[in-house]
Structure 1
Amino acid sequence: MKTQPVIAVLFPGDMGTQVAKALINQNFKVITAGEARSARTLQNIQNSGIIDTGSLQNTVEQADIILSLTSPEGSLKIAESTVSCLKNTANCPLYVDLNSNTPAIALSIENLFTSVNIPYVNGAVMGASQDVPDKAVLVVSGINRHLFIDLFASVFKIKDAGEKAEAASAYKLLFSMVNKGMNALFFETMTAAAHFGILDELNESLQEFLPGTYQDMIKTTPTYPQHIARRIDEMKGLADMLSSENLPHIIASATAETFERVYHSHIFENENPEGVIEAFQNFKKLSDKK
């Protein structure tokens, strides 16, 4: 591998763009495939200094390392498309998936790349896009993880989750269970508080007696109107993972169920709360529907 390898980012959405910028700031050459991407993605490419090679085939042929940063829903499809391109070139890049997949999907992707003798690293990003690179942590796992760690340890905060490919996925899901489980607990509490007409009063008491917990909610709770559907999928994935390992999964399943109930109530629809209190005020809509 070259001293300063060419990095492909698939694709420069919010997270991918921040990762690419961090790499470019450290003088890495970053490329991507802009073909058939959205206008917003193309704007991100233009504004961040990423080189657009056009097609995925061109990108795969030029890359020493490929970072997949799409979404858990799209990660397998991107992996399959990349493998198809790799079959048409002698290039052998390191493929790193950072999409916070379920362990099952992570293993499926590992099998794809093993079948064509391409080194693979599974990973996940702990933190929001704006936290890259100073606060966000990249969790990686698999037998090839040190290829990633050794190269990027000076650029990102990285946590080694071990040699099992699926370990980084399990790590992210289990970590997520804590803050998402806490949000589910508060959502169920606010549902009942709205029913009894005491939402504001209960909120005041919770802030007074649980200030630390409320502080923890500041970063996550206001994002739920935009991302609750994804949170449902994540918690279902966690429940499935735990169930397949014969581990307790009552809270994970209940968290997914709570989020589904809130999602289908439409109280977060077209909402963009600026803070925790404002987010919880939406639960008053439930009592209005009686």
Structure 2
Amino acid sequence: MSFTDRKILKRFVKEKPLKSIQEFLTVKIITMPIQPIIAILFPGDMGTQIAKALIKNNYKVITAGNGRSARTLENIKSIGIEDVGSLQNIVEQADIILSLTSPEGSLEIAENTISCLENTDNRPVFIDLNSNTPEVALNLEKLFSAKNIKFVNGAVMGASKDIPDHATLIVSGTYRNIFLDVFSTVFKIKDAGEKTEAASAYKLLFSMVNKGMNALFFETMTAAAHFGILDELNDSLQEFLPGTYKDLMKTTPTYPQHIFRRIDEMKGLTQMLKSENLPGIIASGTAETFERVYESGIFKNENFEGVIDTLQSFKKLA
């Protein structure tokens, strides 16, 4: 029985006598400590907001500060995250590990975690919230299941500033109920079902709608600037589609800060659709449009306040 199992058993028997270890093992599949120790790897913008919400709800949150900048360490301390130093200490102490880095860094975090698990009998639940492609999510599950580690695939739908009240955390996989049981009172959560890759597909397909809408406007404004009618067309579209412009306010002004990441996301979506032999013309076109805008430099060092001034920046292309 692992260290985590013993901790869970000790807490559990205080509430309900167990007839056998087999009963405990059956219960454990859907049971976690009443207040599990949560590790966050790592507290960037999204990780910090998630940590704040957890700490506000009296969860103990830990992280591995080794190798982090002085500014990051000060931020960790100021919001109440406990720095336990190394990743090895994380895997020995945590009941749940939340991976919050990037799709590009998720595999490295997973491999490093598995390496540390060789030196302990603790078996924390590993939850990846990096919005990976379905293929990567399935690869991660294979890595962890080979080490008898429960894995939950997930993604965050929304900006870090929207945590916890407006952003939605999507989870999927065999052990998703662990996440739902532990965090349902803290975050808005969408259960994407038993298929491990489902949360990844959910996030990417949702993104195709709102990012595809922005790509449509970016391509339209590129052509409008070329013909010298950008302001006039913008006025007409805003009058004809007021609700659409209101919706765009949530995302369009953020593109100077996030367009590069959204290029990668749309390329991941294109890859997913291609691998499933599904049409991907809009997905690939969205990625191409974003790349063209990024390479044009019109968003460089910009900080737009609204949709109109964002779209007016396309005049630079004329």
Structure 2 length-normalised TM: 0.89
The SS at the match of 1:122 is strand
CA distance in structure 2 between the aligned counterparts of 1:276 and 1:284, rounded to whole angstroms? 14
Deviation of 1:143 after TM superposition, in Å, equals 0.1
Q: Which residue, 197, 201, 207 being the options, matches 1:176?
A: 207
CA distance in structure 2 between the aligned counterparts of 1:267 and 1:137, rounded to whole angstroms? 31
CA distance in structure 2 between the aligned counterparts of 1:21 and 1:54, rounded to whole angstroms? 19
Following superposition of structure 1 onto structure 2, how do residues 138-157 of structure 1 map, counting pairs within 5 Å? 138-157=169-188
The SS at the match of 1:283 is helix
CA distance in structure 2 between the aligned counterparts of 1:40 and 1:70, rounded to whole angstroms? 17
Q: Give the structure 2 partner of residue 161 of structure 1.
A: 192
The SS at the match of 1:95 is strand
Largest Rg, 1 or 2 = 2
**Does residue 132 of the first structure (1) align with residue 163 of the second (2)?**
yes
CA distance in structure 2 between the aligned counterparts of 1:202 and 1:42, rounded to whole angstroms? 49
Deviations 1:228-285 (A, max 9, x none): 1111111111011011111111100111111111111111111111111111121111
Question: Where does the alignment leave 5 or more consecutive residues of structure 1 unmatched?
Answer: none
The SS at the match of 1:109 is helix
Deviations 1:185-224 (A, max 9, x none): 0000000010011111111111111001101110111111
Instruction: Read off the aligned partner of 1:6 and give its amino acid letter.
Output: I
Deviation of 1:39 after TM superposition, in Å, equals 3.3
Deviation of 1:40 after TM superposition, in Å, equals 3.6
Instruction: Read off the aligned partner of 1:79 and give its amino acid letter.
Output: A
Q: Give the structure 1 partner of residue 217 of structure 2.
A: 186
**Does residue 91 of the first structure (1) align with residue 122 of the second (2)?**
yes
Instruction: Read off the aligned partner of 1:231 and give its amino acid letter.
Output: R
Q: Which residue, 44, 55, 74 being the options, matches 2:75?
A: 44
Deviation of 1:38 after TM superposition, in Å, equals 2.7
Following superposition of structure 1 onto structure 2, how do residues 1-150 of structure 1 map, counting pairs within 5 Å? 1=8, 2-150=33-181
Contact kept in structure 2, 1:13 and 1:44, CA below 8 Å: no
Following superposition of structure 1 onto structure 2, how do residues 248-267 of structure 1 map, counting pairs within 5 Å? 248-267=279-298
The SS at the match of 2:62 is strand
CA distance in structure 2 between the aligned counterparts of 1:104 and 1:70, rounded to whole angstroms? 18
Deviations 1:109-144 (A, max 9, x none): 111101111000000011111111111111000000
CA distance in structure 1 between the aligned counterparts of 2:101 and 2:138, rounded to whole angstroms? 17
The SS at the match of 2:164 is coil
Q: Give the structure 1 partner of residue 249 of structure 2.
A: 218
Q: Give the structure 1 partner of residue 15 of structure 2.
A: none
Instruction: Read off the aligned partner of 1:239 and give its amino acid letter.
Output: T
40 and 205 in structure 1: CA distance in 2 versus 1, 3 angstrom threshold: farther
The SS at the match of 2:39 is strand
CA distance in structure 1 between the aligned counterparts of 2:34 and 2:146, rounded to whole angstroms? 27
Instruction: Read off the aligned partner of 1:57 and give its amino acid letter.
Output: Q
Contact kept in structure 2, 1:16 and 1:69, CA below 8 Å: yes
Contact kept in structure 2, 1:225 and 1:270, CA below 8 Å: yes
CA distance in structure 1 between the aligned counterparts of 2:69 and 2:212, rounded to whole angstroms? 34
Deviations 1:83-118 (A, max 9, x none): 111111111000000011111111111111011110
Moved over 6 A (4+): none
CA distance in structure 2 between the aligned counterparts of 1:126 and 1:31, rounded to whole angstroms? 24
Q: Give the structure 2 partner of residue 209 of structure 1.
A: 240
Q: Give the structure 2 partner of residue 280 of structure 1.
A: 311
CA distance in structure 1 between the aligned counterparts of 2:248 and 2:193, rounded to whole angstroms? 30
Instruction: Read off the aligned partner of 1:198 and give its amino acid letter.
Output: I
Structure 1 length-normalised TM: 0.97
